[in-house]
Amino acid sequence: MTACLHQTVFGDGKPLVLLHGWAMHSAVWCDFAQILAQDARIICVDLPGHGLSQTVQPYDLDHVAAAVLDTIDEPVFSVLGWSLGATVAMAMIERAPERIQRLFVLAGNPHFIQSVDWPGVKPEILDRFADLLQTDTEQSLTRFLALQINGQPHGRRVLQALKQGVRQRPPPTQAVLQAGIDILKTSDLRDTVIRATLPMHWILGGRDALVPVEAGERLHRLKRSMTLDILPDASHAPFLSHTATLRPLISGRL
């Protein structure tokens, strides 16, 4: 089933699609999107089952990526994915490489879960969120938001901005939240990224509790053509905490 996805557009110029993270929606981009819109046409999409978008069945990475591709009218565009949105963006370049001009990954990992051969988040962290979803969805989301500002200077301000953005639209259902966790736990897009020929730009936070810098460094050794920028003081939501630093790293490369 193809979902009808909600999108909001800012500015004119080269198209750049922004894809948000787990449990969020595209309104969290609002201030940052309008800054980027000074340089490009910014298309903010609510992922399936998030915000104002319909869901997809079955809810898996392939159907989510297909729904986003079907929603975007532009024949060719760049995409910036944050966290789960980065996983979706990587799946999009596998599904329709001819349509994606440039990939920006913000706090994303092609293999999100830590394994013996790859740095990532410990599986038990996502398992705890999954278990808590079964009994207290709101508490699970609150803990997840707090984790994203771990060690962040001015963390309270960033957390408040995240909470304020999330409250602007209805929360995802428990089923959609669980499906998103399953996507993060099971997806492995390392080969997709390594094989892809389009320009790629990775931006990671040095204090990110979910995506370790080592993942980007490992990937950069495997794919020397990609750029890797580390924001030492940033956590998992640098578009809220490091806006001025991010703008040239994105707009300057479109």
Cα-atom radius of gyration of the chain, to the nearest Å? 16
Question: 89 and 19 in contact (C-beta within 8 Å)?
Answer: yes
Active-site annotation holder among 20, 25, 236, 242: 236
Catalytic site includes residue 140:
no
The two structure tokens encoding residue 184: 């993060």
Distance CA 118, CA 64 (A): 25
Q: Which residues sit opposite 74 in a β-bridge?
A: none
Residue (of 54, 58, 49) closest to 20 by Cα position = 49
Helices and strands: H and E segment counts in the chain: 11, 7
CA distance 46 to 210: 22
Is residue 236 annotated as a catalytic residue, yes or no?
yes
- In the annotation, is 208 catalytic? yes
Catalytic residue from among 208, 235, 241, 251? 208
118: left (phi over 0), alpha (psi -120 to 50) or beta: beta
Query: With contact defined as beta carbons under 8 Å apart, do 148 and 235 qualify?
Result: yes
CB 34 within 8 A of CB 10: yes
Q: Which of 26, 53, 78, 83 is catalytic?
A: 83
Structure tokens at 249: 């790293």
* Helix runs in the chain, H state only: 30-36, 61-71, 84-95, 123-133, 137-147, 155-166, 174-186, 190-195, 213-222, 238-241, 243-251
| Residues annotated catalytic, as ranges | 83, 208, 236
